[in-house]
Amino acid sequence: MSDWTLRQARYFLAVVDHGSVSAAAREEHLSQGALSMAVAQLESALGVQLLVRGRARPATPTAAGLRFADRLRPILDLADEAGAAARGPDGDPTADLTGELVVGASMTLSPRVFPPLLEALRDRHPRLRTRIAELTPGDLEDRVLTGEVDVGFCYHRQLTRDLAVHRIGEVSLHAVLPADHPLAGRRGVTVTELAGLPVILPALSPTTRLLTTLLEQHGPAPDVRWTSVNQETVRAMVGRGLGFTLVSTVPGTAETFDGRRVAYVPLVGAEHRNALVAVTDPRRRPTRAVTETVAVMRGLPSSP
Protein backbone atom coordinates (compact mmCIF):
# COMPACT_ATOMS: atom_id res chain seq x y z
CA MET A 1 0.00 0.00 0.00
CA SER A 2 1.41 3.40 -0.97
CA ASP A 3 1.75 6.29 1.48
CA TRP A 4 -0.95 8.83 2.20
CA THR A 5 -0.46 12.28 3.69
CA LEU A 6 -1.98 14.27 6.53
CA ARG A 7 -2.93 16.96 4.03
CA GLN A 8 -4.98 14.49 2.00
CA ALA A 9 -6.60 13.29 5.22
CA ARG A 10 -7.52 16.84 6.25
CA TYR A 11 -9.15 17.48 2.88
CA PHE A 12 -11.16 14.26 3.20
CA LEU A 13 -12.39 15.28 6.67
CA ALA A 14 -13.31 18.70 5.31
CA VAL A 15 -15.61 17.01 2.78
CA VAL A 16 -17.17 14.86 5.53
CA ASP A 17 -17.70 17.88 7.81
CA HIS A 18 -19.03 20.25 5.15
CA GLY A 19 -21.05 17.78 3.12
CA SER A 20 -19.68 18.54 -0.33
CA VAL A 21 -16.45 18.91 -2.26
CA SER A 22 -17.31 22.49 -3.22
CA ALA A 23 -17.92 23.58 0.37
CA ALA A 24 -14.75 21.83 1.55
CA ALA A 25 -12.73 23.46 -1.22
CA ARG A 26 -13.98 26.91 -0.21
CA GLU A 27 -13.10 26.24 3.42
CA GLU A 28 -9.62 24.98 2.54
CA HIS A 29 -9.02 27.74 -0.06
CA LEU A 30 -8.45 25.23 -2.87
CA SER A 31 -9.97 24.59 -6.25
CA GLN A 32 -12.53 21.78 -6.36
CA GLY A 33 -10.30 19.91 -8.79
CA ALA A 34 -7.29 20.03 -6.49
CA LEU A 35 -9.27 18.86 -3.49
CA SER A 36 -10.99 16.09 -5.43
CA MET A 37 -7.62 14.87 -6.71
CA ALA A 38 -6.19 14.79 -3.18
CA VAL A 39 -9.13 12.72 -1.91
CA ALA A 40 -8.88 10.39 -4.91
CA GLN A 41 -5.16 9.90 -4.19
CA LEU A 42 -6.03 9.10 -0.57
CA GLU A 43 -8.57 6.49 -1.67
CA SER A 44 -6.03 4.97 -4.06
CA ALA A 45 -3.41 4.80 -1.31
CA LEU A 46 -5.83 3.12 1.09
CA GLY A 47 -7.35 0.87 -1.53
CA VAL A 48 -10.95 1.68 -0.50
CA GLN A 49 -13.68 4.09 -1.56
CA LEU A 50 -14.21 6.71 1.15
CA LEU A 51 -16.85 8.91 -0.51
CA VAL A 52 -19.84 8.37 -2.76
CA ARG A 53 -19.94 11.25 -5.23
CA GLY A 54 -22.56 12.35 -7.72
CA ARG A 55 -23.56 15.40 -9.71
CA ALA A 56 -27.01 15.69 -8.12
CA ARG A 57 -26.15 14.49 -4.62
CA PRO A 58 -23.79 15.58 -1.84
CA ALA A 59 -20.55 13.73 -1.17
CA THR A 60 -21.49 11.01 1.32
CA PRO A 61 -18.96 8.95 3.28
CA THR A 62 -19.11 5.19 2.79
CA ALA A 63 -19.04 2.81 5.75
CA ALA A 64 -15.27 2.61 5.30
CA GLY A 65 -15.12 6.40 5.10
CA LEU A 66 -17.00 6.79 8.40
CA ARG A 67 -14.70 4.32 10.14
CA PHE A 68 -11.65 6.07 8.74
CA ALA A 69 -12.90 9.52 9.73
CA ASP A 70 -13.59 8.39 13.29
CA ARG A 71 -10.05 7.03 13.70
CA LEU A 72 -8.49 9.88 11.75
CA ARG A 73 -9.63 12.79 13.93
CA PRO A 74 -7.49 12.00 16.99
CA ILE A 75 -4.50 11.33 14.71
CA LEU A 76 -4.79 14.80 13.18
CA ASP A 77 -5.25 16.31 16.63
CA LEU A 78 -2.02 14.66 17.76
CA ALA A 79 -0.28 15.95 14.63
CA ASP A 80 -1.45 19.48 15.51
CA GLU A 81 -0.17 19.02 19.05
CA ALA A 82 3.24 17.90 17.78
CA GLY A 83 3.49 20.91 15.48
CA ALA A 84 2.38 23.30 18.22
CA ALA A 85 4.90 21.85 20.67
CA ALA A 86 7.65 22.44 18.13
CA ARG A 87 6.56 26.00 17.34
CA GLY A 88 5.20 27.17 20.69
CA PRO A 89 7.30 28.93 23.33
CA ASP A 90 8.64 26.32 25.79
CA GLY A 91 6.31 23.75 24.24
CA ASP A 92 3.17 25.61 25.30
CA PRO A 93 0.40 23.07 24.56
CA THR A 94 -2.16 25.76 23.73
CA ALA A 95 0.08 27.84 21.48
CA ASP A 96 -0.92 28.26 17.86
CA LEU A 97 -4.13 26.23 17.84
CA THR A 98 -5.26 25.50 14.29
CA GLY A 99 -7.95 23.52 12.50
CA GLU A 100 -11.69 23.72 13.00
CA LEU A 101 -13.73 23.54 16.19
CA VAL A 102 -17.52 23.11 16.29
CA VAL A 103 -19.03 24.59 19.46
CA GLY A 104 -22.66 23.93 20.34
CA ALA A 105 -24.99 25.44 22.92
CA SER A 106 -28.60 25.08 23.91
CA MET A 107 -30.68 27.90 22.43
CA THR A 108 -31.52 29.39 25.82
CA LEU A 109 -27.82 29.58 26.67
CA SER A 110 -26.19 30.58 23.38
CA PRO A 111 -26.44 34.38 23.90
CA ARG A 112 -24.51 33.98 27.14
CA VAL A 113 -21.88 31.62 25.75
CA PHE A 114 -21.09 32.39 22.12
CA PRO A 115 -20.29 36.13 22.00
CA PRO A 116 -17.67 36.26 24.81
CA LEU A 117 -16.26 32.81 24.06
CA LEU A 118 -15.79 33.39 20.33
CA GLU A 119 -14.22 36.79 21.00
CA ALA A 120 -11.73 35.26 23.42
CA LEU A 121 -10.86 32.39 21.09
CA ARG A 122 -10.41 34.77 18.17
CA ASP A 123 -8.03 36.94 20.17
CA ARG A 124 -6.01 34.07 21.66
CA HIS A 125 -6.01 31.63 18.75
CA PRO A 126 -6.54 33.50 15.47
CA ARG A 127 -5.70 30.43 13.36
CA LEU A 128 -8.41 28.31 15.00
CA ARG A 129 -11.59 28.29 12.88
CA THR A 130 -14.80 28.02 14.87
CA ARG A 131 -18.33 27.09 13.84
CA ILE A 132 -21.34 27.33 16.12
CA ALA A 133 -24.53 25.31 16.45
CA GLU A 134 -27.59 26.52 18.38
CA LEU A 135 -29.63 23.45 19.28
CA THR A 136 -32.25 22.04 21.58
CA PRO A 137 -30.68 20.24 24.56
CA GLY A 138 -31.57 16.84 23.09
CA ASP A 139 -30.11 17.65 19.67
CA LEU A 140 -26.98 19.03 21.34
CA GLU A 141 -26.44 15.74 23.16
CA ASP A 142 -27.00 13.76 19.97
CA ARG A 143 -24.52 15.81 17.95
CA VAL A 144 -21.85 15.60 20.63
CA LEU A 145 -22.17 11.81 20.56
CA THR A 146 -22.03 11.65 16.75
CA GLY A 147 -18.98 13.91 16.63
CA GLU A 148 -20.75 16.71 14.76
CA VAL A 149 -20.20 19.02 17.75
CA ASP A 150 -16.80 18.96 19.47
CA VAL A 151 -17.92 20.59 22.71
CA GLY A 152 -21.37 21.70 23.84
CA PHE A 153 -22.62 24.02 26.56
CA CYS A 154 -25.89 23.53 28.41
CA TYR A 155 -27.38 23.44 31.90
CA HIS A 156 -26.67 20.35 33.95
CA ARG A 157 -30.36 19.66 34.62
CA GLN A 158 -31.00 19.52 30.86
CA LEU A 159 -28.79 16.45 30.41
CA THR A 160 -30.40 13.08 29.69
CA ARG A 161 -27.49 11.20 28.09
CA ASP A 162 -24.23 9.75 29.41
CA LEU A 163 -21.75 12.47 28.44
CA ALA A 164 -18.46 13.67 29.86
CA VAL A 165 -19.39 16.71 31.95
CA HIS A 166 -17.01 19.63 32.62
CA ARG A 167 -18.43 22.01 35.20
CA ILE A 168 -18.13 25.70 34.38
CA GLY A 169 -19.98 27.29 37.31
CA GLU A 170 -23.22 27.56 39.22
CA VAL A 171 -26.33 29.40 38.09
CA SER A 172 -29.67 29.96 39.77
CA LEU A 173 -33.21 30.46 38.57
CA HIS A 174 -34.74 33.93 38.39
CA ALA A 175 -38.36 34.87 37.98
CA VAL A 176 -38.87 37.38 35.17
CA LEU A 177 -41.73 39.76 35.98
CA PRO A 178 -43.14 42.96 34.49
CA ALA A 179 -41.18 45.89 35.91
CA ASP A 180 -44.29 47.30 37.59
CA HIS A 181 -45.37 44.03 39.22
CA PRO A 182 -45.65 44.15 43.07
CA LEU A 183 -43.00 41.40 43.37
CA ALA A 184 -40.56 43.05 40.96
CA GLY A 185 -38.75 45.03 43.65
CA ARG A 186 -38.14 42.06 45.93
CA ARG A 187 -34.65 40.67 46.66
CA GLY A 188 -36.04 37.15 46.29
CA VAL A 189 -39.29 35.36 45.56
CA THR A 190 -40.57 31.84 46.23
CA VAL A 191 -42.40 29.60 43.78
CA THR A 192 -45.38 29.66 46.15
CA GLU A 193 -45.64 33.43 45.81
CA LEU A 194 -45.80 33.04 42.01
CA ALA A 195 -48.61 30.47 42.16
CA GLY A 196 -51.71 31.51 40.28
CA LEU A 197 -49.93 33.92 37.92
CA PRO A 198 -50.00 33.17 34.17
CA VAL A 199 -46.81 31.47 33.01
CA ILE A 200 -44.91 31.83 29.72
CA LEU A 201 -42.27 29.14 29.16
CA PRO A 202 -39.56 28.35 26.60
CA ALA A 203 -40.79 25.72 24.14
CA LEU A 204 -37.68 23.56 24.47
CA SER A 205 -37.51 19.98 25.73
CA PRO A 206 -36.64 19.12 28.49
CA THR A 207 -36.64 22.71 29.78
CA THR A 208 -40.43 23.11 29.55
CA ARG A 209 -41.00 19.88 31.43
CA LEU A 210 -38.42 20.68 34.12
CA LEU A 211 -39.86 24.13 34.83
CA THR A 212 -43.43 22.86 34.80
CA THR A 213 -42.52 20.12 37.29
CA LEU A 214 -40.82 22.64 39.54
CA LEU A 215 -43.92 24.84 39.62
CA GLU A 216 -46.19 21.86 40.24
CA GLN A 217 -44.12 20.78 43.24
CA HIS A 218 -44.79 24.04 45.06
CA GLY A 219 -48.44 24.73 44.37
CA PRO A 220 -51.39 24.10 42.10
CA ALA A 221 -50.98 23.17 38.45
CA PRO A 222 -49.33 26.16 36.74
CA ASP A 223 -51.38 28.23 34.31
CA VAL A 224 -49.09 27.92 31.29
CA ARG A 225 -50.62 30.32 28.77
CA TRP A 226 -47.98 30.30 26.04
CA THR A 227 -44.64 28.75 25.05
CA SER A 228 -42.09 30.10 22.59
CA VAL A 229 -38.67 29.02 21.30
CA ASN A 230 -37.60 32.68 21.14
CA GLN A 231 -36.38 34.19 24.41
CA GLU A 232 -37.00 37.74 23.19
CA THR A 233 -40.61 36.85 22.43
CA VAL A 234 -41.06 35.50 25.96
CA ARG A 235 -39.46 38.59 27.51
CA ALA A 236 -41.59 40.95 25.41
CA MET A 237 -44.74 39.13 26.48
CA VAL A 238 -43.69 39.40 30.12
CA GLY A 239 -42.96 43.09 29.63
CA ARG A 240 -46.56 43.60 28.47
CA GLY A 241 -47.90 42.01 31.65
CA LEU A 242 -49.06 38.77 30.03
CA GLY A 243 -47.38 36.54 32.61
CA PHE A 244 -44.03 35.62 34.15
CA THR A 245 -41.27 33.22 33.16
CA LEU A 246 -38.25 31.53 34.73
CA VAL A 247 -34.69 31.79 33.45
CA SER A 248 -31.20 30.79 34.52
CA THR A 249 -29.49 33.33 32.26
CA VAL A 250 -29.90 37.00 33.18
CA PRO A 251 -29.03 39.32 30.26
CA GLY A 252 -27.19 42.60 30.58
CA THR A 253 -30.33 44.66 30.04
CA ALA A 254 -33.84 44.62 31.48
CA GLU A 255 -35.29 46.25 28.37
CA THR A 256 -37.40 44.07 26.09
CA PHE A 257 -37.33 43.94 22.29
CA ASP A 258 -40.17 46.48 22.07
CA GLY A 259 -38.80 48.90 24.67
CA ARG A 260 -40.64 47.81 27.80
CA ARG A 261 -38.88 46.67 30.95
CA VAL A 262 -38.86 43.52 33.05
CA ALA A 263 -37.37 42.65 36.44
CA TYR A 264 -35.22 39.63 37.31
CA VAL A 265 -35.87 38.40 40.85
CA PRO A 266 -33.86 35.46 42.28
CA LEU A 267 -35.90 32.39 43.07
CA VAL A 268 -35.38 31.53 46.73
CA GLY A 269 -34.44 27.93 47.57
CA ALA A 270 -31.27 25.86 47.16
CA GLU A 271 -33.16 23.26 45.13
CA HIS A 272 -33.48 25.79 42.33
CA ARG A 273 -29.74 25.99 41.69
CA ASN A 274 -28.23 24.57 38.52
CA ALA A 275 -24.85 24.47 36.80
CA LEU A 276 -23.53 25.63 33.47
CA VAL A 277 -21.52 22.74 32.02
CA ALA A 278 -19.52 21.80 28.96
CA VAL A 279 -20.16 18.34 27.54
CA THR A 280 -18.02 16.13 25.33
CA ASP A 281 -18.13 12.59 24.00
CA PRO A 282 -16.88 10.30 26.81
CA ARG A 283 -15.51 7.82 24.24
CA ARG A 284 -13.09 10.34 22.76
CA ARG A 285 -10.10 12.06 24.31
CA PRO A 286 -10.72 15.84 24.30
CA THR A 287 -8.57 17.66 21.79
CA ARG A 288 -6.34 20.56 22.79
CA ALA A 289 -8.84 22.93 21.22
CA VAL A 290 -11.69 21.49 23.30
CA THR A 291 -9.64 21.59 26.52
CA GLU A 292 -8.65 25.18 25.83
CA THR A 293 -12.23 26.18 25.02
CA VAL A 294 -13.46 24.83 28.36
CA ALA A 295 -10.63 26.61 30.19
CA VAL A 296 -11.38 29.88 28.39
CA MET A 297 -15.08 29.62 29.24
CA ARG A 298 -14.27 29.06 32.90
CA GLY A 299 -12.12 32.17 32.95
CA LEU A 300 -14.56 34.56 31.29
CA PRO A 301 -15.97 37.35 33.50
CA SER A 302 -19.49 36.48 32.28
CA SER A 303 -19.17 32.90 33.54
CA PRO A 304 -21.12 32.13 36.71
> For 233-277, how does the pLDDT look when each residue is reduced to its tens digit (9 = 90+)?
999 999 999 999 999 888 889 999 999 999 999 998 756 678 899
- 147 in a domain, yes or no? yes
Integer Cα distance of 74 and 55 in angstroms: 31
Q: Do residues 30 and 79 both lie within one domain?
A: yes
232 domain residue, yes or no: yes
Enclosing domain of residue 181: 174-266
| Pair 25, 37: CB distance under 8 Å | no
Shared-domain flag, residues 285 and 140: yes
Residue 171, beta-bridge partner list: 274
Total of domains in the chain: 3
**Domain assignment of residue 1, yes or no:** no
C-alpha 114/C-alpha 97 separation (Å) is 19
Is the model's pTM score more than 0.85?
A: no
pLDDT tier for residue 131 given thresholds of 50, 70 and 90: very high
Domain-located, residue 246: yes
pLDDT at 304: 44
Looking at the structure, do residues 76 and 216 belong to the same domain, yes or no?
no
Is residue 303 over pLDDT 50? no
- 215, 83: one domain: no
Cα angle: 142, vertex 20, 284; to 5 degrees: 35
Cα separation of the two ends of the chain:
53
291: in domain: yes
Which residues, other chains included, contact 244 with Cβ-Cβ below 8 Å and sequence gap of 6+? 175, 176, 177, 178, 181, 194, 197, 198, 199, 200, 238
Average predicted confidence (pLDDT) for the chain:
88
* CATH classification of the domain holding 21: 1.10.10.10
pLDDT tens by residue, 181-200: 999 999 999 988 998 899 99
The answer on 158 and 190 residing in a single domain is no
Q: Amino acid letter at 108?
A: T
Same domain for 160 and 282, yes or no, is yes
Shared domain for 164 and 283, answered yes or no, is yes
Domain membership flag for residue 93:
no
Which residue type is seen at 275? A
- Sequence-separated contacts (24+) of 249-256 with Cβ below 8 Å: 249/108, 249/109, 249/111, 249/112, 249/171, 250/174, 251/111, 254/179, 256/232
Per-residue pLDDT tens for 87-110? 665 555 555 688 889 999 998 899
Same domain membership, residue 262 and residue 178: yes
Share of the chain above pLDDT 70, in %: 92
Count the neighbouring beta carbons within 10 Å of the beta carbon of residue 93: 12
Instruction: Give the domain CATH number at 136.
Output: 3.40.190.10
- My answer on whether 197 and 150 are in the same domain is no
Closest CA to 224 of 239, 205, 209, 236: 209
6 HSE (CA, 13 A, CB side): 11
Q: Higher pLDDT residue, 82 or 112? A: 112
Separation CA 149–CA 133 (nearest Å): 8
Note the pLDDT of residue 183: 95
Q: Per the omega criterion (within 30 degrees of 0), is the bond before 111 cis? A: no
The reply to whether 37 and 82 lie within a common domain is yes
The residues, ordered by sequence, that sit 6+ positions from 115 with a Cβ below 8 Å of its Cβ are none
129 SS3 class: strand
Which comes out higher in pLDDT, residue 285 or 130?
130
* Helical H segments across the chain, by residue range: 6-18, 21-28, 32-46, 63-87, 110-124, 137-146, 191-194, 207-216, 231-239, 288-299
